[in-house]
Amino acid sequence: MKNTTRNYLMMGLVIVAVLGLSVFNRSRSHSLAAGLPDDSVIGKGKPVVIQFGAHWCPPCRKQLPVMIELAKEQTAFQTAFLDVDEHPQTARDNNIGPIPTLIFFDGDGNELDRHTGFYPKDSILTKWKELGVDATSL
């Protein structure tokens, strides 16, 4: 086999591997997000932090497991996820620019605060405390 043919084959294999990893990460993100409600929980009597993001976005995929963990541990507030590609009007209504954007809402649906970019679990809990919600991890 000529060197150029071998090089093309190796480059092709690398491309296929990268694309496969990307598809795997997106499907994992979809299944994680399926465990969280969408924006329908806003204003239903309980505070909520909602992650506006997309499944193709690496920082959004990094944020999603944090949101799942909080959902399992917390009773003081809810966590939710909304895909901005699937719900562009809702994203526009909430003035979402860069993603991920986390918006904190009170139980009546009033926006209390927002953060753009990855937000660690401890920072989210600290923010809730600053906003008057006792969100101590169990």
Catalytic residues: 57, 60
82 φ, ψ (degrees, to nearest 5):
-135, 125
Token pair for 61: 């995929």
The answer to whether residues 84 and 91 touch, using CB atoms and an 8 Å cutoff, is yes
Token pair for 58: 């690496």
| Distance (Å, whole) CA 87 – CA 36 | 15
| Distance (Å, whole) CA 67 – CA 53 | 12
Give the DSSP letter of residue 39: G
Token pair for 57: 């976005």
The answer to whether residues 101 and 70 touch, using CB atoms and an 8 Å cutoff, is no
